[in-house]
Amino acid sequence: MQVQNEKLAGDLMTAQNQMNRTEAGALRMKSDIARLSDDVLAEQAECQKLRQNISVMDVELRKHHAEVVEARNVQKAVETELHQCKASGLELCHRFEIESQLRLQAQEENLKLMETNSQLRQKLLSRKSKWLR
């Protein structure tokens, strides 16, 4: 019976040692879980910060896109106005050329009329002098 008690005592000691090791392992696991839980919370906080940064960047991107669209509209308006100015400028140049040609023709006609007027005066003076004689 003593042998059996000693054997039972040995089994009990083995079981207690096994239980102590299991408890120590469980405590290590609990500690690891707590550390991992803290890591997860830190990662979640970092993710939240990144989401906020993405939201801010998205707002800025939309604002920039709106500015780009507005700039393109302004550019198109300026190009249209420039095209109209070029067309007006060409039209003005054409009018100026026509006016210049008309002025030259008018000057030539004026010179011809002055010459004819001079000739007529000469004839008139010649007739007048013949008349006065």
Chain-centre distance for alpha carbon 42: 37
Q: According to the model, what pLDDT value does residue 124 have?
A: 86
Instruction: Evaluate if residue 88 carries a pLDDT over 70.
Output: yes
In tens, the pLDDT along 37-87 reads 999 999 999 999 999 999 999 999 999 999 999 999 999 999 999 999 999
CA distance 117 to 5: 162
DSSP assignment letter at 81: H
Q: According to the model, what pLDDT value does residue 128 have?
A: 77
Chain-centre distance for alpha carbon 94: 40
% of the chain with per-residue pLDDT over 70: 99
Which two tokens mark 85? 């100015």
**Amino acid making up residue 115:** E
Which two tokens mark 58? 């998205």
Instruction: Evaluate if residue 7 carries a pLDDT over 90.
Output: no
